[in-house]
């Protein structure tokens, strides 16, 4: 909200520089976003001028050449095109060098002497917009008649405006008086509350005889106050009022409407004025709208209403949206004589629902949905009535309507000074706390204090240890003070958080339970980076095509979709990270085609079977990685460029995951048949690895012959991760001996099967595939595999005869079980 200092000063003295005040307000919770200065650089360059005479411009019909008294000996003459210039008028005169806003660009520009169509112009007569006061550029700004020519304009119109940035708990600071209470507490001043008294003539009618109100929804309308003011003279507001409204960012309309807005800005209570003559009958109803009812609101929009919306109605139908906006059918205009003035309190959540259903945010709804206190309504009604009497010459009716179904007893809050001291880490006295609260508008309930005094007299020895308490009633304009802790905060923020003590945690340190999963995750991350992989993080949403392409579309029942996605083409929560990975690889492959290695760890989502509304859906963490291009991501001298293959990525994965992985040939919708493996741990499948197929390559624009990816369910895998300290195994005492054997096997035969048979022999310590060959020299449909076998005995050094014998046994098993032959002796 915009709070002009000139207005604020009506209620509280400002006895410090605005910058300092602004800092204090910000630190205590009312953040000042900016301070706008009006007329800060006007100095003597912009002054009050009086139009002495107006001469025609010899060369232009629409321009005039007024002669202006600017308080100097000689009047000045300028060229002016404003339609509203008149002799005798007081205006704002800017002389050469003054800084004015250019209405076309909005920029500040320095005024220079000019010649306009042959006539030289020394200065300028200014509009509000040129002065930076408002957006009004219809004509020149007219000043009060009493002002003396030559008076610096800053003395009259100069001001500073605080732009406050409110947290949603402080609707009271959506008003100048609410802000004044903050200033008072911070600067040890008192607030002067606006006057709400007015004259009631002897002949005034009783309100009850002219108007009555029925509240049909007592839960939604907590209070409704109203009155009738007769014979108002509708017209423009006086300049002090329009100035204030404009500085607070409200456009003046006419004096009646301006007064309701003025009181809203002053006290924080929205009001509405109806043209009494346009209200049918003498009864106002506060009720829910009926289905299919419509209302044309003051902004000219026709609103289709539903029963969720609370309306103000007469016998003929709705005449206003309660707490949001009035209806055009009862709008106050120049012909209005009598007004019906409303100051009511509506349920915050109902207003919030209605305004979001109607998509209509107003100053009124903004305040109501932040919870206003019903106690405000009558005060605001009286204040507005007073202004209608004084400004519009209205005559009031006696009494006022006050339907108050939501009336509650004022809530008293008792604060233990011991608790306050414990919370804030320092001791504070009763009077120290009380004086802060009183400045904020709290009222003290004396009784507990006198009880304390009495107990102290009876038992002086216990006085030092007694928990004194303070009972207060929160200010009626504050809706955010409900519990003891709220009062503690009130004291703490005014006392200043920075003045409170600070210490390190001294309470017991919780028992440490290591989190095996997080430990595994960080090890995997470290290992992957160690192999040259770069970590990426992508958005959790994606398109259906993306998920379909990588074969991860979970089917429509299980896929999770956002109701309001940031990007309409990507409403789906990802059920796989593969698509994001491919996008990352592709993006970088385009700029650095030599070699890209990336991985991501992130959550994937699907609905559970029979998903209930109070259980979480399936959400687990996956790991994806991929490589594309060349083995080295920079070209290295004296080294042949080599394209990555399946085994590069498999090696990275085996290195990165600290568990034993098993790979077996498999099919995956994103991966090339025959170039794909499923990954399992302890017999449980945890993921896939392989070369992307043509479809994936085409969709993501990746090279299909040199892109390999994997995806692993990290949480499933972590169940097998064993971080218990490894036990010692004895080191072999006798030398081992190595043999290489070349085998001829069916092309479909997997190396893992052969290795497991070789490894089963009791003298085999290790078996390593060292070559694989398909082509000339071996029969069609077969492949040659060469293994290095390490023989080792725990009981003695193996002689060559022992190894020969073991090798023959292995070959027999291979032939028998897998039909694998020895191709030739390698050694």
Partner 1 sequence: MTNNNQNTLEKLKEEARSALAECESLASLEEWRINYLGRRGAISTVMGSLGGLDQDSRRTLGKASNDLKILLQDEYDDKVQEVSVSQNAENQVTGIDVTLPGRNPPQGSFHPTTLIVREIAAAFAPMGFRVVEGPEVELDTYNFQKLNIPADHPARDMWNSLWVDYPNDPDLRPFLLRTHTSPMQIRVMEQETPPIRVIVPGKAFRYEATDATHEWQFTQIEGLAIDKGIGFADLKGTLDAFAKSIFGETRKTRFRCDFFPFVEPGAEMSIDCFKCDGEGCRVCSHTGWIEILGAGMVHPEVLRGVGYDPNIYSGFAFGMGAERIAMLRQGIDDIRHFYANDLRFLKQFSQQ
Q: Applying CB under 8 A, which of residues 4, 268, 595, 687 lies at the interface with partner 1?
A: 595
- Angle between helical axes of 430-439 and 417-424 (0-180°, round to 10): 80
- Pick between residue 182 and residue 342 the one whose CB is nearest to partner 1: 182
Would you count residue 574 as binding partner 1 (CB under 8 A)?
A: no
- Pick between residue 639 and residue 724 the one whose CB is nearest to partner 1: 639
Identify the CA nearest to 333 among candidates 442, 193, 479, 232.
Answer: 232
Would you count residue 568 as binding partner 1 (CB under 8 A)?
A: no
- Closest contact distance (angstroms) between CB of 500 and partner 1 is 6
Identify the CA nearest to 59 among candidates 79, 87, 84.
Answer: 79
- Pick between residue 45 and residue 487 the one whose CB is nearest to partner 1: 487
Strands 46-57 and 60-69: antiparallel
Q: Applying CB under 8 A, which of residues 202, 508, 555, 780 lies at the interface with partner 1?
A: 508
Give 399: exposed, middle or buried? Use CB within 10 Å, 0-12, 13-18, 19+. middle
Rounded to whole angstroms, the maximal C-alpha distance in the chain is 133
- Closest contact distance (angstroms) between CB of 486 and partner 1 is 6
Q: Identify residues 524-553 at the interface with partner 1 (CB under 8 A).
A: 525, 528-540
Q: Which stretch binds partner 1 (CB under 8 A): 38-46, 309-317, 590-598, 798-806?
A: 590-598
Alpha-carbon gap, residue 357 to 321, rounded angstroms: 12
Token code pair at residue 33: 């976003």
Q: Applying CB under 8 A, which of residues 203, 639, 730, 795 lies at the interface with partner 1?
A: 639
Alpha-carbon gap, residue 319 to 354, rounded angstroms: 16
- Closest contact distance (angstroms) between CB of 269 and partner 1 is 17
Q: Identify residues 420-449 at the interface with partner 1 (CB under 8 A).
A: 422-426
- Closest contact distance (angstroms) between CB of 415 and partner 1 is 13
- Closest contact distance (angstroms) between CB of 224 and partner 1 is 21
Q: Identify residues 43-72 at the interface with partner 1 (CB under 8 A).
A: none
Phi-psi region of 363 (alpha: psi -120 to 50; beta: other; left: phi over 0): alpha
- Pick between residue 92 and residue 582 the one whose CB is nearest to partner 1: 582
Binding mask 142-181 for partner 1 (x = CB under 8 A): -------------------------xxxx-----------
Size, binding site for partner 1 by CB under 8 A:
94
Using alpha carbons, list the distances in angstroms from residue 616 to 522, 558, 608, 613.
25, 13, 8, 8
Would you count residue 708 as binding partner 1 (CB under 8 A)?
A: no
Token code pair at residue 106: 């909005």
Is the Cβ–Cβ distance between 342 and 312 less than 8 Å? yes
Alpha-carbon gap, residue 544 to 553, rounded angstroms: 7
Identify the CA nearest to 207 among candidates 288, 129, 282.
Answer: 282
- Pick between residue 72 and residue 412 the one whose CB is nearest to partner 1: 412
Is the Cβ–Cβ distance between 760 and 823 less than 8 Å? no
* C-alpha 544: how far from chain center: 28
- Pick between residue 501 and residue 683 the one whose CB is nearest to partner 1: 501
User: Which phi and psi angles does 453 have, rounded to 5°?
Assistant: -60, -40
- Pick between residue 169 and residue 678 the one whose CB is nearest to partner 1: 169
Q: Which stretch binds partner 1 (CB under 8 A): 235-243, 632-640, 751-759, 765-773?
A: 632-640
Q: Applying CB under 8 A, which of residues 290, 307, 407, 603 lies at the interface with partner 1?
A: 603
- Closest contact distance (angstroms) between CB of 560 and partner 1 is 6
Q: Which stretch binds partner 1 (CB under 8 A): 139-147, 483-491, 676-684, 747-755?
A: 483-491
Token code pair at residue 514: 């290591």
Would you count residue 800 as binding partner 1 (CB under 8 A)?
A: no
Would you count residue 728 as binding partner 1 (CB under 8 A)?
A: no
Would you count residue 187 as binding partner 1 (CB under 8 A)?
A: no
Alpha-carbon gap, residue 608 to 557, rounded angstroms: 9
Q: Applying CB under 8 A, which of residues 10, 212, 217, 489 lies at the interface with partner 1?
A: 489
DSSP E strands in 71-175: the ranges are: 76-77, 90-94, 99-101, 108-110, 114-116, 119-121, 124-125, 142-143, 159-165
- Closest contact distance (angstroms) between CB of 182 and partner 1 is 11
Binding mask 348-387 for partner 1 (x = CB under 8 A): xx--xx---------------xx-----------------
- Pick between residue 101 and residue 588 the one whose CB is nearest to partner 1: 588
- Closest contact distance (angstroms) between CB of 756 and partner 1 is 32
Would you count residue 658 as binding partner 1 (CB under 8 A)?
A: no
N-term to C-term CA, the chain: 90
Would you count residue 731 as binding partner 1 (CB under 8 A)?
A: no
Alpha-carbon gap, residue 364 to 368, rounded angstroms: 6
Alpha-carbon gap, residue 524 to 518, rounded angstroms: 10
Q: Applying CB under 8 A, which of residues 587, 704, 761, 788 lies at the interface with partner 1?
A: 587
- Pick between residue 231 and residue 432 the one whose CB is nearest to partner 1: 432
Using alpha carbons, list the distances in angstroms from residue 383 to 72, 225, 374, 737.
43, 13, 15, 105
- Pick between residue 563 and residue 731 the one whose CB is nearest to partner 1: 563
- Angle between helical axes of 255-267 and 375-392 (0-180°, round to 10): 140
Alpha-carbon gap, residue 368 to 347, rounded angstroms: 7
Identify the CA nearest to 23 among candidates 35, 41, 13.
Answer: 35
Would you count residue 555 as binding partner 1 (CB under 8 A)?
A: no
User: Which phi and psi angles does 598 have, rounded to 5°?
Assistant: -140, 155
- Pick between residue 74 and residue 508 the one whose CB is nearest to partner 1: 508
- Closest contact distance (angstroms) between CB of 571 and partner 1 is 8
DSSP character for 548?
A: H
- Pick between residue 452 and residue 594 the one whose CB is nearest to partner 1: 594
Binding mask 304-343 for partner 1 (x = CB under 8 A): ----------------------------------------
The residues near 455 (Cβ < 8 Å, ≥ 6 apart) are 466
**Three-state secondary structure of 382-414:** HHHHHHHHHHHCCEECECCEEECCCCCCCCCEE
Q: Give just the sign of the alpha carbon dihedral 411, 417, 418, 419.
A: positive
- Pick between residue 152 and residue 406 the one whose CB is nearest to partner 1: 406
- Closest contact distance (angstroms) between CB of 566 and partner 1 is 5
Q: Which stretch binds partner 1 (CB under 8 A): 86-94, 256-264, 521-529, 746-754?
A: 521-529
- Pick between residue 137 and residue 525 the one whose CB is nearest to partner 1: 525
Q: Which stretch binds partner 1 (CB under 8 A): 231-239, 504-512, 743-751, 761-769?
A: 504-512
DSSP E strands in 328-406: the ranges are: 339-346, 395-396, 401-403
DSSP E strands in 166-220: the ranges are: 212-215
Alpha-carbon gap, residue 413 to 475, rounded angstroms: 12
Q: Which stretch binds partner 1 (CB under 8 A): 395-403, 492-500, 658-666, 790-798?
A: 492-500
Is the Cβ–Cβ distance between 234 and 336 less than 8 Å? yes
Q: Applying CB under 8 A, which of residues 251, 407, 561, 825 lies at the interface with partner 1?
A: 561
The residues near 718 (Cβ < 8 Å, ≥ 6 apart) are 516, 517, 520, 521
Q: Applying CB under 8 A, which of residues 105, 145, 564, 568 lies at the interface with partner 1?
A: 564
Q: Identify residues 10-39 at the interface with partner 1 (CB under 8 A).
A: 26-29, 31
- Closest contact distance (angstroms) between CB of 354 and partner 1 is 11
- Closest contact distance (angstroms) between CB of 519 and partner 1 is 10
- Pick between residue 166 and residue 305 the one whose CB is nearest to partner 1: 166
Would you count residue 709 as binding partner 1 (CB under 8 A)?
A: no
Q: Identify residues 211-230 at the interface with partner 1 (CB under 8 A).
A: none
């Amino acid at each position: 909200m915009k709070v002009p200092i000139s207005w604020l000063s009506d209620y509280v003295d400002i006895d410090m520089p605005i910058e300092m005040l602004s800092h204090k307000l910000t630190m205590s919770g009312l953040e000042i976003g900016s301070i706008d200065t009006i007329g800060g650089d006007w100095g003597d360059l912009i002054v009050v001028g009086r139009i002495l005479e107006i001469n025609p411009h010899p060369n232009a019909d629409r321009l005039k050449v007024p002669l202006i008294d600017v308080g100097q000996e000689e009047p000045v003459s300028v060229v002016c095109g404003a339609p509203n210039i008149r002799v005798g008028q007081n205006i704002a005169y800017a002389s050469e060098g003054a800084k004015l806003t250019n209405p076309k660009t909005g920029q500040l520009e320095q005024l220079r002497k000019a010649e306009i169509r042959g006539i030289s112009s020394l200065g300028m007569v200014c509009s509000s917009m040129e002065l930076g006061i408002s957006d009004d550029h219809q004509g020149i700004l007219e000043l009060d008649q009493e002002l003396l020519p030559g008076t610096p304009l800053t003395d009259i119109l100069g001001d500073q405006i605080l732009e406050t940035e409110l947290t949603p708990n402080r609707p009271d600071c959506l008003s100048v008086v609410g802000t004044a209470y903050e200033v008072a507490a911070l600067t040890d001043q008192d607030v002067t509350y606006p006057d709400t008294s007015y004259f009631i003539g002897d002949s005034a009618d009783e309100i009850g005889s002219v108007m009555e109100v029925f509240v049909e929804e007592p839960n939604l309308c907590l209070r409704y106050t109203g009155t009738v003011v007769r014979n108002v003279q509708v017209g423009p507001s006086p300049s002090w009022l329009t100035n204030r409204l404009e500085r607070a960012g409200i456009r003046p309309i006419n004096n009646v409407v301006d007064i309701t807005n003025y009181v809203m800005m002053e006290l924080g209570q929205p009001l509405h004025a109806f043209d009494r003559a346009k209200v049918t009958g003498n009864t106002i109803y506060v009720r829910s709208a009926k289905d299919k009812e419509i209302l044309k609101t003051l902004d000219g929009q026709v609103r289709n209403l539903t029963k969720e919306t609370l309306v103000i109605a007469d016998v003929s139908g709705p005449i206003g949206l309660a707490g949001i906006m009035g209806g055009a059918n009862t709008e106050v205009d120049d012909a209005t004589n009598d007004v019906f003035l409303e100051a009511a309190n509506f349920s915050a959540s109902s207003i919030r629902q209605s305004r979001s259903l109607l998509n209509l945010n107003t100053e009124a709804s903004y305040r109501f949905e932040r919870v206003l206190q019903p106690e405000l309504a009558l005060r605001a009604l009286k204040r507005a009535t007073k202004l209608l009497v004084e400004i519009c010459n209205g005559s009031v009716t006696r009494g006022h309507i006050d339907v108050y179904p939501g009336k509650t007893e004022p809530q008293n809050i008792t604060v233990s000074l011991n608790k306050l001291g414990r919370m804030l880490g320092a001791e504070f006295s009763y009077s120290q706390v009380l004086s802060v609260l009183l400045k904020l508008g709290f009222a003290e309930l004396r009784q507990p204090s006198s009880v304390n005094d009495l107990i102290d007299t009876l038992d002086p020895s216990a006085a030092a240890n007694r928990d004194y308490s303070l009972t207060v009633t929160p200010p009626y304009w504050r809706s955010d003070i409900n519990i003891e802790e709220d009062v503690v905060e009130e004291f703490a923020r005014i006392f200043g958080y920075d003045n409170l003590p600070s210490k390190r945690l001294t309470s017991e340190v919780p028992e440490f339970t290591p989190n095996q999963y997080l430990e595994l995750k960080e090890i995997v991350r470290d290992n992957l980076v160690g192999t040259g992989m770069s970590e990426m993080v992508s958005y959790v949403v994606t398109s259906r095509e993306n998920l379909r392409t990588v074969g991860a579309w979970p089917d429509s029942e299980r896929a999770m979709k956002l109701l309001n996605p940031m990007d309409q083409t990507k409403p789906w929560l990802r059920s796989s990270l593969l698509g994001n990975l491919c996008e990352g690889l592709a993006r970088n492959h385009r700029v650095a085609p030599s070699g890209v290695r990336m991985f991501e760890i992130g959550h994937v989502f699907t609905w559970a079977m029979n998903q209930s509304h109070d259980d979480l859906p399936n959400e687990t963490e996956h790991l994806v990685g991929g490589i594309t291009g060349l083995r080295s991501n920079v070209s290295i001298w004296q080294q042949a460029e080599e394209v990555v293959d399946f085994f590069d990525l498999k090696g990275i994965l085996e290195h990165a995951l600290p568990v034993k992985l098993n790979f077996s040939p498999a099919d995956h919708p994103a991966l090339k048949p025959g170039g794909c493996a499923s990954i399992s741990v302890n017999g449980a499948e945890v993921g896939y690895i392989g070369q992307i197929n043509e479809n994936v390559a085409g969709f993501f624009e990746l090279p299909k012959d040199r892109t390999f990816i994997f995806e692993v369910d990290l949480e499933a895998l972590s169940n097998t991760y064993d971080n218990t300290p490894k036990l010692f195994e004895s080191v072999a005492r006798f030398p081992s001996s190595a043999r290489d054997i070349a085998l001829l096997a069916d092309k479909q035969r997997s190396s893992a099967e052969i290795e497991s048979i070789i490894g089963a022999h009791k003298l085999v310590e290790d078996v390593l595939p060292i070559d694989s060959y398909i082509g000339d020299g071996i029969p069609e449909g077969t492949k040659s595999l060469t293994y290095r076998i390490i023989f080792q005995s725990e009981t003695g050094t193996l002689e060559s005869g022992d190894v020969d014998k073991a090798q023959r046994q292995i070959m027999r098993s291979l032939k028998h079980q897998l039909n694998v032959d020895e191709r030739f002796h390698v050694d």
